Structure 1
Amino acid sequence: MMQDELGTLAAFVAVAEARSFTRAAGRLGTSQSALSHRIRRLESRLGVRLLARTTRSVAPTEAGARLLETLGPAIADIRGQLAALTEDPGRPSGTVRITSADHAAETILWPALHRLLPEYPDIAIQVDVENGLVDIVVAGYTAGIRLGGNVDKDMVAVPIGPPEPIAVVASPTYLATHAAPVTPSDLADHSCINRWLPSLGGFPAWEFVGDGRATRTRVSGRLAFNRPELILEAAVAGHGLAYLLRSQCASMLASGQLIGVLDDWCPVLPGYHLYFPKSRQVTPALRVIVDALKYDR
């Protein structure tokens, strides 16, 4: 292997994960032109194109995706092992990269980090707020935060928040002109504000529990957003029914700006969990964050 081969492969992983030479160069502390030249030399040596480039985007080719699938976890493991070797258990240090849903980042992660960081000046935290599902191994994250039901079984999952009841809500204005649904099947007659999640294939079904069994209902409407804050705003403005975590709309329910419907059908979801691969070395820095976030039931 050439002397700089490992560094070049790590550079390819950074570009493929970031889908951008500019963002990858910033992460690696190099110039965009130097990084681009390095990747072209790698492609030349391998005799295959790894990245498809346009003026607006960068994406792995089929060959690049196969290489990334192998290299992503390997590079992440090497970084973790090196961090564990150099870290002083009595003085946790290093960078922890976390991908989190926005609601969890705002209500659980940031308050904990705000309290934690002054005590650990050698720990750096990078938080990527992303509501879609992310493969944290391939993408090079240290850990992720999602609702417990969305965490793969091969992960260590640490609860960091209470169970999350679902609420179906609408504004008084909307319900003044539309009869409130009595069962999930009634949603077919309503304008529903959908959640747009490309990583789940588009619009996830609304899940309910009734008569001792779970049901999934596909809804339709003129509006769809990938951020719950916008779904909430649209519901308050009277544009239809919204399906949210009750904690996301609790203040609006308390103030009367929103009214809950189908309460007897709404499930309670597993709360937010911090998760990371079982095979990953838990560095002292990650351990500090796990301990700070852990939810005592």
Structure 2
Amino acid sequence: MKQNFTVRQGALDGIEVFLRVAEHRSFRGAAAELGVTPSAVSQAVRVLEARIGAALFTRTTRSVGLTEAGERFLARAKPAFEELVAASEVARGLGQRPSGLLRLSVPRAVVPILLEPLIASFCKANPEVEVEVAAGKELIDLAAEGFDAGIRLGQFIAADMIAVPLTPPLRFVVVGSPAYFAARGRPEDLDDLRAHACLRWRRTSGALALWSFNDNGQSIEIAVSGPFIASDFPGMLGAAIEGIGLAQLPEPMADEGLRTGKLLRVLDAYAPVIPGVFLYYPSRRQVLPKLRAFIDHVKSRTARPLASDS
């Protein structure tokens, strides 16, 4: 059902004219400031008075004064109008140059790998922009939650989003600690996973994620079992390093552990390739300069490989 506007249509018409006349106590002075004719100012005031239902000015051939209704109207209308002008200036500034609060929804794993150095350089280049990072695994509605953009693995981003790649495609690798392999042996093929402790992570939907593999070009998903369930990839990484079991992780997340010898890889021939990590946002038409500056900054820098937890 159609609803009435809280403020009637045209209710703000003539307010600025009224304020200028009240300031100058002159129709001619107001007209000169506004760049219109005195008759146009007089007509605007008459229309405003008719709409309000009360005379706002007392007029003589020598002076213009405020009625009691005019005085009360001025006391309320002037600060309200100044707030509207200030609000317009703030909005105009946000639409013309990078400024304001840029809110990003990101996975926890992204922050130290990519965002810390990226945001540091972005803030130096854009001192009028404040950056807020909300780290979590939940996939949220960016617009409804008040975020400008998000970062996620490509397969988790809705098709109607605009996506900017931050990394090339990534491999998912299976890793474990040397201590784990010394105690349990190394799996040689996918069937061997039945005899191993496999770490799992729970999706935001509540479902346990399957392990994915590529067997000679054929995608395979396997329901594994093990003693530990994490809510994100960093949790699985830590458990694998501690020797609790095998973990399947985005390759860049395991790089440091592999380089230092804390982790070893297995089943490399079956490692699937997934889309990389993307910065995503709802619509090109809604991109304010603060987000456009961040997108351009991301594109101008060489993206390091990174991983996401959802």
- Into which bin does the TM-score normalised by the smaller protein fall? 0.5 to 0.7
Which position in structure 1 is the counterpart of 2:227? 222
Residues paired across the two proteins, number: 219
SS of alignment partner, residue 111 of structure 1? helix
Letter in 2 for 1:180: R
Cα deviation for residue 82 of structure 1 reads: 9.9
Cα deviation for residue 179 of structure 1 reads: 2.8
- The counterpart of 2:200, out of the listed 157, 174, 194, is 194
Letter in 2 for 1:182: E
- The counterpart of 2:164, out of the listed 154, 158, 164, is 158
Letter in 1 for 2:110: A
**C-alpha spacing 1:152/1:240, structure 2 compared with 1 (3 Å):** same
Partners of 1:139 and 1:233 in 2: CA distance: 31
Which position in structure 2 is the counterpart of 1:87? 94
Give the structure-2-normalised TM-score.
Answer: 0.65
Cα deviation for residue 3 of structure 1 reads: 5.0
Partners of 1:130 and 1:276 in 2: CA distance: 17
- The counterpart of 2:239, out of the listed 234, 239, 261, is 234
**Structure 2 regions of 5+ residues with no counterpart?**
8-87, 304-310
- The counterpart of 2:280, out of the listed 275, 280, 291, is 275
Partners of 2:209 and 2:298 in 1: CA distance: 28
Which position in structure 1 is the counterpart of 2:34? none
Partners of 2:90 and 2:226 in 1: CA distance: 49
Which position in structure 2 is the counterpart of 1:208? 213
Deviations 1:237-261 (A, max 9, x none): 1110011111111111122211101
**C-alpha spacing 1:256/1:127, structure 2 compared with 1 (3 Å):** same
Contact 1:104 1:272 in 2 (8 A): no
- The counterpart of 2:182, out of the listed 176, 187, 194, is 176
SS of alignment partner, residue 244 of structure 2? coil
Letter in 1 for 2:218: R
SS of alignment partner, residue 186 of structure 2? coil
- The counterpart of 2:249, out of the listed 230, 234, 244, is 244
Partners of 2:192 and 2:205 in 1: CA distance: 25
Partners of 1:159 and 1:130 in 2: CA distance: 20
Deviations 1:31-64 (A, max 9, x none): xxxxxxxxxxxxxxxxxxxxxxxxxxxxxxxxxx
Which position in structure 1 is the counterpart of 2:116? 110
SS of alignment partner, residue 125 of structure 1? strand
RMSD (CA atoms): 2.3
Letter in 2 for 1:291: D
Letter in 2 for 1:98: L
**C-alpha spacing 1:260/1:188, structure 2 compared with 1 (3 Å):** same
Letter in 1 for 2:252: S
Letter in 1 for 2:221: R
SS of alignment partner, residue 286 of structure 2? coil
Larger radius of gyration: 2
SS of alignment partner, residue 192 of structure 1? coil
